[in-house]
A and B are shown apart, each in its own frame.
Chain A
């Protein structure tokens, strides 16, 4: 992205080592000046505007569209419908691999969910296209919509999440429950939630012959490239995708979905560049969501408060036409040392857009239920919630028996509890008040998220002028990849960050893997690290094989790279600059590739997870039931922290989302029509600034030699887990009322308080 003018020397620069420094965002100045170009900011000459018409019914068939009326509207150029559209090279109903989701690209008149695209109006202005879509005035043959967790016959899905078995167990759960002194048997419900990235899904597509140019936010450049190539029957090297910035993705921009595909089709149909941007309400359907769950937890504990069994069942939904199953019960696999664990899932099909990964898929939904149930059991055992969790601390991963690659959770409990002042908590609920008479509650939850790795490549170069470059098609979703990955790149090539050109965000660069699973820094970072090591090795070959070099004979492993020099490992006084080495060799630059990938042997041997402990304080009005979160402390151990400043922001965001999960977020579906009644940010509530209390994040030191070469575990998603439960448990501690349906609503507290 040579057009980007990133800040080359962000604040707090310390020479010599970039990893670990709290650098400010290198794209920050661009963003505050409005100069960061997001997909929808592009306006190629001759561009037309496409607007989707979406279904207002959830099930049935479109019987008519008034295409003539739309076309009569001034400025409307064309109307794309099932009968009038470019042909795709493959059937969008065919799943060619598990990461391909079925999409609605006008393949038929059938309607499978509300807000499904049913036509696309292309016009000279956004206003004309918008009105054209209204003038289509669709008529339908409507069938009764299937809505909710009890909509039909349930079934056991073949897999949940990404390839996890729907059922799993270790030990004899029924026997464990039978010998328990205390039992908890409780049902928790979580609602459908929508990603609601600030930036809507958008695309500017431009065909030039059989070459396709695309501006589109994506968390997976190469996956998108492959899917577009497949759908349109063109070679991947004829497609160029630019995605330098995302205004959030949270999983909804990971895989190619219907709407951007429709934008490419529209551009093909009219032979001009086309822009298609979703309206906020159109994001409630074709681009994924977090499915609702109903979870039953049965837990047994003995007289000493040791778990005897943990049984976690989750009911969820998927769409009528595809499969994604929120793996909520799997949250019980890793945290608590029950000798018997069983997790299971079942599902029903409903008239909804297909659910998808949404920040901590499974972990977030499962965590609030598990942490609530564990809290209930701690109370049943008369134990402090932290003490109870320590009593059941898992020294090995409970479901597999594998040792952890590293696990500093004890330190998280200790440091978080101390910072919060947890020791002063009353064991019994409803014991604390403030000066104004509000009930005060303290709750906590354990956070956990797997440390994942995908595959990535990177290309590094060192030039004769003493500068370097690192190229990788990485994705900055707002989390700070432009900065954190550049820090890794700088260290990888032994240069200060302002001497390294870091390129990312386009599909012509090496594959960085998907920015998901909290694995992007680890995955792309590992590739960068390896590319850097490879280019340094090449440079070292040049020097150590040359009699004229002070490094001659050291062997290419006998030198280290630092500050633009190769230095003899066993004799720091013998060194040479990159410039000297390349000039003498008569080489303009050396270049090398590197890869990052999971280590199957290490994964077989170790369970790899990040952990944390979140503490929350709430106040509750005793008569009115209004809840306010007044304080949160989160202590997280996530391996090596590349940039503490950005990591803190990620964890803040996660904690706020956890609080949102407990108290605010819910898509309200009309039980008859299947339409979402609050598909806008006015009525789909997320916390506003005035709801967000002072947040405190502690990053607990943790060294992990097994997860990857850099020891990074990732922090993108863990912040939600633990936090949602901590807030819910604090509400209980304040009021004595255990609410098991989320978000916690005023009416549920009103009767109890």
Chain B
């Protein structure tokens, strides 16, 4: 009896503890090392991909396919002499005692978040090679840089080695002018790999995740040749004249964006001299737009008029004190004079330098360089596209880490204010900055159609899964509209049918769950007499327009001194000695390659001739200031309707 009472009390206490303790199930803060960062469904996830991923008729993205990588490696290494890291290193002279070789270790805080161990060399013949061991300790949380990654790079933790990238600057298989080539090697076996998962968000085909930021172009592959092989496209404005020269560059080492260890041997002070040497090697790979007497430019070849002009050289020079590179340490350069003069220094410092410059400075050509953003005017000329990509689509900034950093920084608001001042709605009615991820309806571009059934599509809408179409007004603003209907108006693929000519305004509201987009209006100009019927437009019609002897062929020819990015003439594209139907198939693929099926209005095939960032200016028949159906934009309408119909051959 004496024991019964204390035991009873203890049972009571245990019961109370049971209520208080309630363990198990895990805490939200628990982190399991080794797991990839979560990809949240419905949020932007087009990082490290080309804005035009080359959508194929079956809906697949060619630039992310195995075939794309295979064709690339076949172009730059046809005999597989560099299909392992060991062979690649041997081919580039690593550890031979010749030339110069350096190794640096730093944390890539800004761009990809890795701890990076880069071994670089400059060979006696001037060729360059860099291989980068990228270390990421997967902590299962947000994708971000951590000093642990730098630690892993220092100790070379094999468990944290996520991929090994190799870049060489050397002549192509047939010799000639050096250009940059990109490789990815398996971390365990050293075998060359077609795919790289750079940011834990899935495999992407080489060289895509490299060249998308290194100035490269992602044109479509050729159709099969006589042997049944597809090839990497030959870019006409590549000075090397080699397939596989994607116009990619070597990026500067922006030392001020790196983190260094305080461990002896790895401090910034100890690594600055090597990084400066490596930046000088990178500089050697840039073409020189005008003669220079400075020693650091002696290794640079003269730039041809049509190619990228080595814009990033200005950054390297400015960071080391200007011509002659007098300073021993890298200092983040001040904003270029154009930005300062426009009173936009802070916009440059908050937006362009941290979120745009690393990739954009490597883009552009000698004829058309707006996209390098080196001046305020160039940046401003892209305001509409910046709004589309940053505010709406979420595919810029290009890398997930930069994207996250940007949207968590004051730069996001600064850019929104800048866009709002230009009349672009980057803030909502309450003044909040609009971010990608909200539903945005895309009914496709305004267009001219024939009467009768016209298929519509909302498939390029963003972050949406339900759609509501309606007719807002009929010809001459008629309300309610007469003689027109929409079948399946609550679907992504409805059909519009009008029996009376005139302009109809339609509305599309796209939704994701309970969140609805602003109504997006679409003007359809119905013309019974429209020829050709949009449904029968074929490549022959497009080719005829391109080759009608008026404007396009004058510059867009393989022998043109302007070195255009694409030729619109008939020539021996496959190099078999004659102009055959195969050449026409290759021509078609090249033209189709200039179509962005994920955002049709952004297609270079429409943008360029309509005077947007086009050295040739506005082409006849491409005046988009006119309404659809007007003679002054007949070619634009023809091209656009062909594209809307899937650009059939």
Partners in one complex: no
Residues of B that sit less than 8 Å from A by CB: none
Residues of A within 8 A of B (CB): none
